[in-house]
Amino acid sequence: MRRQFRSFLVITTEFIQQLLFCLPRYKLLNAIKSQWLKIMGAKIGKRVIFYPHVWIAPGRNLIIGNDVDCALGVLITTSGGVTIGDRTLIGYRTQILSRNHIIPPENQPIFGAGHRDNPINIGQDVWIGASCIILAGVSIGDGAVIAAGSVVTHDVPGNTVAGGVPAKIIRKR
């Protein structure tokens, strides 16, 4: 019975969040979205913009600075911890994934192998292009630019431009 109630609460919370985060990015609605995330355990700065269809789950272990812009369709998993610095732009359909499945040894089932959480730290004044994937355990330094479509598997130093699959340093800014 307790398990069913917990499942009901999780699904209801997801449903409410989905309804809330499909709303447009009006100032009042962004304030309501920020308040929702704070209720879920996040720390949200001022003037954060959430375009429609942003998905952030579960919300706890999330710190977002001031003047951050999360474009349409951004997905952030926060179980491992995610910190996003001030004045950061996150492009359309970007995924920031602080949790990943554990790959078990050969002949052991994948289902039920568990998860590994690792924090993601994104500095200030960072621009993450559209459709990027930022994987667990990565740090992106202040002033970095991540080219559209990149998969970031390793740390990116500040004031550099990185891109590709996997992302590599292209040049200094």
Phi-psi region of 9 (alpha: psi -120 to 50; beta: other; left: phi over 0): alpha
Backbone torsions φ then ψ of 71, nearest 5 degrees = -75, 175
- Positions annotated as catalytic residues are 101
CA dist list (Å): 124 to 44, 61, 64, 118, 165: 14, 18, 10, 20, 23
Helices 2-20 + 27-39 axis angle, to 10? 160
